[in-house]
Amino acid sequence: MEDFMIKSQEMVMFYGMKVIIALVILIFGKWIAGAIRNSLQKMMTKRNVDATLVPFATNLIYTLLMVFVIIAALGQLGIQTTSLVAILGAAGLAVGLALQGSLSNFASGVLIIIFRPFKVGDYIEGGGTAGTVESIQIFITKLKTPDNKEIYVPNSTMMGGNIVNYSAQKTRRVDLSAGIGYSDDIDKARKVLEDILKADERVLKDPPALVAVTELADSSVNFVVRPWVKSEDYWGVYYDVTETIKKRFDEEGISIPFPQQDVHLFQEK
């Protein structure tokens, strides 16, 4: 009995030390992995590495480091890591089949980083939604809408359809339309529209703006008004020019037709 107690104490001491060392490896390994991730993030940011790549690369490196830390901790407990790797490989295959969606998201995230259809800060439309790209993570892309909502789009969904990047080019064309009555002077209306665009300093001289008659509609003669602006000025010009067209047409006596119906009443005798 005494021998059993002595052996039990020795085993507790032996394995207890292994558990303590394994916990120390796990705790300090996690801390070191986090420190490496943070240092790498600061270094990449300081060297002006693209903001799209920073979170993706640092999170991926942190995940890989944690895998090594966990394997080291298990090895300290006496678990054969070579067998463990084989088991993890088999389990990984089974999990991979079960988590095809997640793996697809990861692969799509890698494709986003490689082909760069958009980057952090771009305003895009994709995955059935639209917003400014906040971050590109391993499995999801985070967007912020103009009304300050956060949207998390799976990377596979984002890469599975068309992506419209409104920020990719430095300039954009503003597409506006304006209608006048058939009794109004077309040349006068065109001159007013051209003057409005020339007076706005945000409208670029090159490429030149287009003002042209596009349609003889049922109740109006329709113009297309297409100035070119810097991408960041798009909405400002869109709203301001639309308002200015209405005010200037009123000042110049140019009518803006609107749908209306004539109702004729017949009195039966």
Strand order across the beta sheet in which 221-226 lies = 176-180, 221-226, 210-216
Is the predicted pLDDT of residue 8 greater than 70, yes or no? Answer: no
Strand order across the beta sheet in which 150-154 lies = 150-154, 140-144, 129-136, 123-126, 164-165
Q: How far apart are CA 176 and CA 248, in angstroms?
A: 15
Q: What is the structure's pLDDT at 88?
A: 60
* Poorest-pLDDT segment among 79-88, 104-113, 135-144: 79-88
Is the predicted pLDDT of residue 160 greater than 70, yes or no? Answer: yes
Q: What is the CATH number of domain 171-252?
A: 3.30.70.100
Residue 100 — pLDDT band, cuts 50, 70, 90? Answer: low
Two structure tokens written together for 130: 């639209």
Burial track 152-179 (b if 16+ CB lie within 10 A, e otherwise): ebbbbbbbeeebebebbeeebebebebb
Is the predicted pLDDT of residue 189 greater than 90, yes or no? Answer: yes
**Mean pLDDT to the nearest integer, 89-101:** 56
Is the predicted pLDDT of residue 236 greater than 80, yes or no? Answer: yes
117-165 and 171-252 agree in CATH topology? no
Helix axis angle, 234-252 relative to 186-199, nearest 10°?
Answer: 140
Q: What is the structure's pLDDT at 229?
A: 97
Domain ranges of the chain: 11-98, 117-165, 171-252
**Average pLDDT over all residues of the chain:** 83
Judge contact between 131 and 145, C-beta under 8 A: yes
Is the predicted pLDDT of residue 213 greater than 80, yes or no? Answer: yes
**Mean pLDDT to the nearest integer, 24-44:** 82
**Mean pLDDT to the nearest integer, 143-163:** 92
Greater confidence, 263 or 233? 233
Q: What is the structure's pLDDT at 29?
A: 80
Two structure tokens written together for 263: 């109702």
Is the predicted pLDDT of residue 143 greater than 80, yes or no? Answer: yes
Residue 105 — pLDDT band, cuts 50, 70, 90? Answer: confident
Q: What is the structure's pLDDT at 66?
A: 82
Residue 149 CA, chain-centre distance (Å), reads 12
Is the predicted pLDDT of residue 244 greater than 90, yes or no? Answer: yes
Name the strand (E) or helix (H) holding 4: helix 2-46
Domain 11-98 class? mainly alpha
Is the predicted pLDDT of residue 166 greater than 80, yes or no? Answer: yes
Two structure tokens written together for 240: 């301001």
Q: What is the structure's pLDDT at 152?
A: 94
Q: How far apart are CA 85 and CA 79, in angstroms?
A: 11
Two structure tokens written together for 215: 């349609």
Q: Apex CA 232: angle with CA 230 and CA 237, to 5°?
A: 75
Greater confidence, 3 or 205? 205
Is the predicted pLDDT of residue 34 greater than 80, yes or no? Answer: yes
Q: What is the structure's pLDDT at 101?
A: 65
CATH of 117-165 given 3.40.220.10, 2.40.160.10, 3.30.70.360, 2.30.30.60: 2.30.30.60
- Dump strand ranges (E) for the chain: 123-126, 129-136, 140-144, 150-154, 164-165, 171-173, 176-180, 210-216, 221-226, 228-230
**HSE toward the beta carbon, residue 257, CA cutoff 13 A:** 17
Two structure tokens written together for 75: 């090895």
**Which residues are CB-contacts of 50 (< 8 A; sequence separation ≥ 6)?**
119, 120
